[in-house]
Structures are given as C-alpha cells and as structure tokens.
C-alpha cells in the first residue's frame, strides 16, 4: 500500500447538521495512510448536532457556528463559516448532511472545492424525502450521489453514484438504510478519486453498483 506524505494530504473540513454518519465514514477513510485528505475541522450550524461529539471523540476539532443568531441573513452566517474555514487552512469542504440552503456567496467562494452527498440518483429527486418519493415514483433503482456544489441545490457536476435495487415491500426506512450503507462507501471513494484521479472503475458488490 502506498502512503501519502503528511504534507501532501489535502486539508478538508466536514460540515454537518446532525448525526454525522457520513462524516464518520470520511473520518475512517482519512485514517488510512494512503488516503489523500486529512480532516482539519468539523463544523456544524447546530450546536447540538450529535456528530460533533463523534468528531471530538475521534480527536478532531469540532465547532458550531449557530445559524440562529444570524436570523434571515444567510450570507452573514456563511461569511462566519467561510472565515473560520480559511483561518483553519481548509482547501476543500465536504457537506455531509449539512441542512442549509447555501447562497451564491459560499458556493462561489468554494466553487470546485465543495462536495455534497445526496440520497438519490441525481438528477432524480433533488430536495427532501427522497426515499418516499422514489417509492411513490415506482423506480426500480435508487441510490446516492456525490457532486460538486453549485448555487442550485442538489445540482452540479456529478463525481460518483452508487445504485441499489428497490425491493417489493420496501418502506422508506428500509430503502434509506440500504442507500446509507452505500453513501458510506461512495463519499470516501469519490473524494479519493477527486484528489487522486485514476481511470473510472465500477464496483459491483452483489446487488449494488458504485461508480466514481
């Protein structure tokens, strides 16, 4: 296994709002000596996000910049986030369940350097309640997408996708669990591929398909 020297690894931040299971997957990936990123900090817009404790337990700097004192001034909150990221030397941002609509200020400031994971096969089902909507639509394949963030929500160039079959009798919770398992594989794989481009190689894992 090749290693990446400490200075070569890209300094990243992970932005969360909740439990942070995708963050956890990225933390685990970054622990591997050959992974091309290191986590500088975890930031949440919610001081009570359970993921902050997970990050701290992993020895990471984890802070909240509460959006509530900023009221309707989204850009002012984003300026505080942006200043914190820059002061920490962050070069790339991974949104992982960060439940804020972003303004052009932040998306332009981090254009090409901000990733998001979304629980559907974009461009199908942007927005919320993706698993319910996939079941209602009767799709046979569902999944998740890692993409670069642009000012349009759940849009932007696709870096990778993982697909899972929809089973007869699936509930939204069953489907969400099947997709989440793939999210945890896809996000590190897509980040690795972005930072260390190699020829694309689909991975067929007995019932799921991941392509980065």
Decide: is 21 part of the binding site for ligand GRF (CB under 6 A).
Answer: yes
Contact with ligand GRF (CB under 6 A): which of 29, 78, 93, 97?
Answer: 97
Please indicate whether residue 77 is annotated as part of the active site. no
Decide: is 118 part of the binding site for ligand GRF (CB under 6 A).
Answer: yes
Contact range with ligand GRF by CB under 6 A, out of 1-9, 15-23, 78-86, 101-109: 15-23
Cis peptide before 102 (omega within 30 of 0): no
Strand, helix or coil for residue 185: helix
- Residue 187 Cβ, how far from ligand GRF at the closest point, in Å? 9
Residues 125-184 that bind ligand GRF (CB under 6 A): 144, 180, 183
Strand, helix or coil for residue 140: coil
Maximum Cα–Cα distance across the chain: 50
Could you tell me the end-to-end alpha-carbon distance of the chain, in angstroms, rounded to an integer?
20
Decide: is 188 part of the binding site for ligand GRF (CB under 6 A).
Answer: no
Angle in degrees, CA 165, 169, 173, rounded to 5 = 75
Cα 8 versus chain centre, distance = 22
- Residue 167 Cβ, how far from ligand GRF at the closest point, in Å? 19
Shorter beta-carbon distance to ligand GRF: residue 77 or 131: 131
Q: Which residue has the tokens 């817009």?
A: 45
Annotated catalytic sites, by residue?
Answer: 118
């Amino acid at each position: 296994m090749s290693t990446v020297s400490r200075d070569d690894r890209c300094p990243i931040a992970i932005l969360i709002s909740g439990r942070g299971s995708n963050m956890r997957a990225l933390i685990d990936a970054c622990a591997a000596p050959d992974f091309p990123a290191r986590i500088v900090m975890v930031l949440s817009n919610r001081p009570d996000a359970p993921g902050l404790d997970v990050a701290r337990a992993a020895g990471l700097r984890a802070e909240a910049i509460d959006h509530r004192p900023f009221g309707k001034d989204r850009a002012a909150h984003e300026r505080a986030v942006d200043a914190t990221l820059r002061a920490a030397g962050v070069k790339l941002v991974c949104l992982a369940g960060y439940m804020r609509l972003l303004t052009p200020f932040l998306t332009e400031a981090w254009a090409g350097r901000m990733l998001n994971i979304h629980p559907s096969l974009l461009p199908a089902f942007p927005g919320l309640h993706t698993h319910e909507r996939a079941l209602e639509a009767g799709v046979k394949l569902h999944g998740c997408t890692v993409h670069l963030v642009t000012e349009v929500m759940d849009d932007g160039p696709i870096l990778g996708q993982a697909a899972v079959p929809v089973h007869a009798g699936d509930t939204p919770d069953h489907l969400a669990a099947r997709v989440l398992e793939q999210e945890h594989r896809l996000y590190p794989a897509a980040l690795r591929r972005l930072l260390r481009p190699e020829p694309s190689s689909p991975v067929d894992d007995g019932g799921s398909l991941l392509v980065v």
